[in-house]
């Protein structure tokens, strides 16, 4: 079983919809949680990072971490066609400091 599980999708939504992307993990030592966006043929781009449990908002993006459930989410409000990409969650901490563990990504398509 992988340390980080992510629903691969694909996920298709109409423009303007609220999107929810999720990851679960098994390693309780993870303390830092990141979300990356990856367009085709490009490297991942950091969207947000959070520490421990709680919420963090940045524009249309909100990241949530529930360490008690080992569950993290990324919400995208007012989704745009330009949000169409693969979204990767990543986490690090404890003995894994210095090496992020990634999910396999969720592919999102936002239709105009």
Partner 1 sequence: DAGVTQSPTHLIKTRGQQVTLRCSPKSGHDTVSWYQQALGQGPQFIFQYYEEEERQRGNFPDRFSGHQFPNYSSELNVNALLLGDSALYLCASSATMTGNNGYTFGSGTRLTVV
Which residue ranges make up the site for partner 1 (CB under 8 A)? 4, 6, 8, 31-32, 34, 36, 41-46, 49, 51, 88, 90, 92-93, 97-105
- The values of phi and psi at residue 14, to 5°, are -80, 155
- Shortest distance (Å) from residue 6 CB to partner 1: 8
The DSSP string of 56-112 is EEETTEEEEEETTTTEEEEEESS--GGG-EEEEEEEE-GGGTT--EE---EEEEEE-
- Shortest distance (Å) from residue 23 CB to partner 1: 10
- Shortest distance (Å) from residue 106 CB to partner 1: 10
- For partner 1, which is the closer residue by CB, 17 or 109? 109
């Amino acid at each position: 079983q992988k340390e980080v599980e992510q629903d691969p999708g694909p996920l298709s939504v109409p423009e303007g919809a609220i999107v929810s992307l999720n990851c679960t993990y098994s390693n309780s030592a993870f303390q830092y949680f990141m979300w990356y966006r990856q367009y085709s043929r490009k490297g991942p781009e950091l969207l947000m990072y959070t520490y421990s449990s709680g919420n963090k908002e940045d524009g249309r993006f909100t990241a949530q971490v529930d360490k008690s459930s080992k569950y993290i989410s990324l919400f995208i409000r007012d989704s745009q066609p330009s949000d169409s990409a693969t979204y990767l969650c990543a986490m690090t901490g404890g003995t894994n400091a210095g090496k992020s563990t990634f999910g396999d990504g969720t592919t999102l398509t936002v239709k105009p």
